[in-house]
Amino acid sequence: MPAKILVVEDHADSLEVLTIQLKCLGYQVIEAMTGQEGIEKAAKFLPQAVIMDLGLPDMNGMEATKRLKQDPRTAHIPVIAHTAWPEEAFRGQAEKAGISDFLTKPTSPNRFRSTIEKWLKLKIN
């Protein structure tokens, strides 16, 4: 059974691109367009990883991540930030929120894949 990855992204085009990339890599994808929807879907589907945009409309991705990390059902799930926010300015806050890794948009397909594999500890051929 393929690993489940939750993608939390409020821009429909970006969500579609990420979903296609992940499906091409062999993952099952769960989509959410707000932080609250992401929190709810993480608790319901228990994905193996979360790709989290930081600039979400209802709450930012760091707040959504904090809430995931406070819930015993989802606290263990690695959250990978995927954002246009500059990493240097937000890395400290992101780490405090519980974000496992930081990908700055646009991300090369190779870096995207290797980061996901690192956190899932999977070898995709």
Taking alpha carbons only, the member of 2, 67, 1 closest to residue 34 is 67
Peptide bond into 47 cis (omega under 30): no
Q: What is the pTM of this model?
A: 0.91
User: Where are the domains positioned within the chain?
Assistant: 4-120
pLDDT of residue 61: 93
User: In the predicted model, is pLDDT for residue 87 greater than 70?
Assistant: no
> Is the domain covering 4-120 a CATH 3.40.1280.10 domain?
no
pLDDT of residue 42: 98
Q: Residue 124's pLDDT band (boundaries 50, 70, 90)?
A: very low
**pLDDT tens column, 28-49:** 999 999 999 999 999 999 999 9
Token couple for 115 = 């980061």
**pLDDT tens column, 12-21:** 999 999 999 9
